[in-house]
Amino acid sequence: MKRFLLPILMLFIVPAFGQNLDNLLTQLKSDCATVSHNSATYFKKYVEENKLDSAKVILNYWESKCGNNREPVFRAKMLLALLKGEYNDSLTDQSTLNNVFNYKSRRDMIKYANYVNYDQYPSYYGNIGPGEEFDTFTQKTAIRLKDRYNQGTIEQLWCEFYGDNSDTLLSKIQSEEYFHTTLSKEYHKTVKKYLDLSEFHSAWIFGTWIPTGKLSTLGVHPDVGFMLGSKRKKMNYDLVMTIKFLKTANDYSAWRPKSDTAELTNHFLGAYIGFEVGRDLYARNGHELQLIGGVGFDMFDALEEDSTLNLEAASACSYNFNIGLGYRYYINDNLYIGLRAKYNLVDYTLKHVTELTGNTFSLQLVIGGVNNINRNDNLKSLKYKIRK
């Protein structure tokens, strides 16, 4: 009986095993590139035949296999919603701006016939070649849909973006008429992220040092130096160093250390180093008005060293508390020219080198710049007007 049972079982098992081998060895891999190509073809076909429900089925399958973060999938979803009159803000989220930039990059590749980026990163562009049938189809569809929606609506803005002008969306979304939309909120959230970044600040200072009270006998002196620091939103933080020089307008009395005898001198060489903080009171269209204040160390040399007579040098030293106003006009997004006016509280009598009392004014011309390459390049790509 066993001799007859084995051949009978083999008649059923071998064909079944052969069928499994066929499935195993001849089955095609379902990758995103293949799915994208075929889905784009059939999505286009069903939309042109006005079979929008079938197009929706294809789109859902495409999205399930490749994800909504693929720009062509997002574009198809937006256009289908616009075709069916079912657009709503839930279609946009935090990834929408990435899809906007992806599409703008695609349009640039087509415009300049430079497809290097796509050749290197096809998956980033959804495995849909720039300028192929799907791109032509979606552009014509968006242009046709544009007249269906009223001027100033978010729907028409999307039609314009995917149609004949992909350069205006980021500029227009900043206007008040779109503030209520999710796209505008996501845009300003992204802008704020970059605006919150600090910028490096540096500047040259050219000014005058003007003493008051009994100090005025020293006369006005040139005051030059520099600032290094940072600017973050409305706040400015700087280390400031300046030097004042030239002989005094009049002779004045000064005392050397451990000496009770005054000497007349017209020698003068001073320095200031301090930390200053500024806050923007007004900032618009390239103009900035700042309230500034600081604290530092101030001094000037009154008597030079005389090694022949074995006489020590003498310097008048003081604290410096200052407050004032600053103005900047930005020539471009980074470079500015400005003015600063400060009132300085000082007391040069602290070391008993001089008895001259009084405070000082500083009037300064400032030429400087602020920059953070990452911050400003991203804001420019968002078409956000940084200062101008």
Question: Is residue 40 scored above 70 in pLDDT?
Answer: yes
Percent of the chain whose pLDDT exceeds 90: 85
Residue 21's pLDDT band, with cuts at 50, 70 and 90, is very low
Say if residue 3's pLDDT is above 60. no
Confidence band of 339 (pLDDT split at 50, 70, 90):
very high
pLDDT tens digits for 67-114? Answer: 878 999 999 999 999 999 999 988 998 899 999 999 999 999 999 999
pLDDT digits 0-9 by tens, 170-205: 999 999 999 999 999 999 999 999 999 999 999 999
What does the pLDDT read at residue 30?
56
- Ranking 111-115, 192-196, 257-261, 361-365 by mean pLDDT, the lowest is 257-261
Q: Which residues contact 190 (CB under 8 A, 6 or more apart)?
A: 97, 382
pLDDT > 90? residue 15:
no
Nearest to 290 by CA among 240, 336, 340, 238: 340
Nearest to 330 by CA among 280, 379, 279, 367: 367
Q: Which two tokens stand for residue 5?
A: 């049972």
- Residue 45, H or E segment: helix 32-48
Output the pLDDT for position 7. Answer: 46
Confidence bin at 20 (pLDDT 50/70/90): low
Whole-angstrom Cα distance, residue 224 to residue 244? 7
Mean residue pLDDT of the chain comes to 91
3-state secondary structure of 233: coil
- What domains are defined for the chain? 32-194 (no CATH), 199-305+312-376 (2.40.160.20)
Q: By mean pLDDT, which of 8-22, 110-124, 297-311 is the weakest?
A: 8-22
Whole-angstrom Cα distance, residue 323 to residue 190?
A: 35
22 pLDDT above the threshold of 60: no
d(CA 294, CA 320): 8
> 109-160, pLDDT tens digit by residue?
999 999 999 999 999 999 999 999 999 999 999 999 999 999 999 999 999 9
Query: Percentage of residues in the chain with pLDDT exceeding 70?
Result: 92
- Vertex 150: Cα angle to 144 and 151 (nearest 5): 100
d(CA 355, CA 347): 10
Q: Report the C-alpha gap between 118 and 169 in whole angstroms.
A: 23
Residue range 282-305: mean pLDDT, rounded: 96
Q: Which pLDDT score is estimated for 322?
A: 98
27 has a pLDDT exceeding 90: no
Burial class for 303, CB neighbours closer than 10 Å (0-12, 13-18, 19+): buried
pLDDT for position 17: 44
